[in-house]
Structure 1
Amino acid sequence: MDILLLGNELLRQKAETVRKIGPGYIKIASDLIQALHDGDGVGLAGPQVGFMERIFAVHIHGDEARIFINPSIIETSQDTIKYEEGCLSIPGYYADVVRPKTIKIQAWNEKGRPFTLEASGMLARVIQHEYDHLDGTLFIDHISEAKRKRIIEKMEKAAVAKAKDKSAAPGIPERKA
């Protein structure tokens, strides 16, 4: 799976609801988990690989890999915490993002089984980050406009430079997971 990079319009589109979780979702889930491992990440959403359905994978250190299909965050804490985030679709760039400390989420797994999960700490943060991807929101949307513009400009310059080096048309390339 190729991970789409900042500038690809699919990253800004809202993912579609999964109508029926069939046997193919076991393969999709496996591919998402493999891509996030290959990219050395902790989470990856369908839209980041051009799969425009409401699914994401999370695998943080010390926990099992998890798949969330058609997730709904049903509860968030009033308490928030600031923590540095990055993204496989915006490689090499990080910024502090404020998010709720704890969440409660409902979703289905790749076998079509519903579950509810209460999460805190890093798991809650990664879930919220990936959940945002399903609505076309990136972590840079949670930071100041000035910081966001700097990151976008640097990514665009890097893409143009890479395109010139390869004698290809300018644009933001895809990243191999």
Structure 2
Amino acid sequence: MTIRPLVILPDSQLRLISKPVASITDEIRALADDMLETMYDAPGVGLAAIQIGVPLRVVTMDVSRSEDERQPIVLLNPEIVSSSEEKSVYEEGCLSIPEYYEEVERPTRVRFRYMNLKGEIVEQDADGLLATCIQHEIDHLNGVLFIDYLSKLKRDRVVTKFKKAAKREEKTA
């Protein structure tokens, strides 16, 4: 397993729409292992493959909150099947937008479907942090970032901040 470098805003890769996984190969299994390792190292509760520069519909998640009781999930081609009318607000962050957090309103409950690494189609209900996380990660697969849910002013501020940081990094590299 390898810890992969994260793609950071304003990198345009984050806006790509990821392609479906056609079949479960050793490469897909290795990608999932690397994603879990990268996610835990960051640390984060979710990671979409595009966040490490791979435009495939692969997501890893673990909302267990405890290193001793890890419950990693690997989702291939995940999709939201249904969502509640009721909304909840959670403070979200993103490994691709480090150290920036904002409250985002999303459906409270979702039903989602995905293929696991055994090739089985799984349908699952989620609420709370899991519901927020799955929506956040599926957004990544569609080129959507959590900052897209913010006001234009807040979104522009954070994008400008990260563009300036990227320029500073280029000068020192």
- TM-score strictly above 0.5: yes
Note if contact 1:14-1:135 (Cα within 8 Å) is conserved in structure 2.
Answer: yes
Equivalent residues in 2 for 1:4-153 (5 A)?
4-62=7-65, 64-153=71-160
Note if contact 1:26-1:111 (Cα within 8 Å) is conserved in structure 2.
Answer: no
Deviations 1:104-129 (A, max 9, x none): 00101122221111010001100100
For 1:67, what is the secondary structure of its paired residue?
A: strand
> Highest relative contact order (Cα 8 Å, sep 6+), 1 or 2?
1
For 2:82, what is the secondary structure of its paired residue?
A: strand
For 1:131, what is the secondary structure of its paired residue?
A: helix
Task: List 4+ stretches of structure 1 deviating above 4 A.
Answer: none
Give the C-alpha shift of residue 45 in structure 1. Answer: 0.1
* 139-148 or 105-114: bigger deviation: 105-114
- Cα distance in 2 between the residues matched to 1:161 and 1:32: 28
For 1:2, what is the secondary structure of its paired residue?
A: coil
Partner letter of residue 152 of structure 1? V
Note if contact 1:23-1:111 (Cα within 8 Å) is conserved in structure 2.
Answer: no
Deviations 1:124-149 (A, max 9, x none): 10010000000000000011000001
Same amino acid, percent of matched pairs = 38
Partner letter of residue 163 of structure 2? E
Q: Flag structure 1 segments of 5+ consecutive residues without an equivalent.
A: 169-177
Q: Flag structure 2 segments of 5+ consecutive residues without an equivalent.
A: none
Deviations 1:29-78 (A, max 9, x none): 11111110111111000111111111110111256110110111101011
- Cα distance in 2 between the residues matched to 1:35 and 1:152: 24
Root mean square deviation of aligned Cα = 1.2
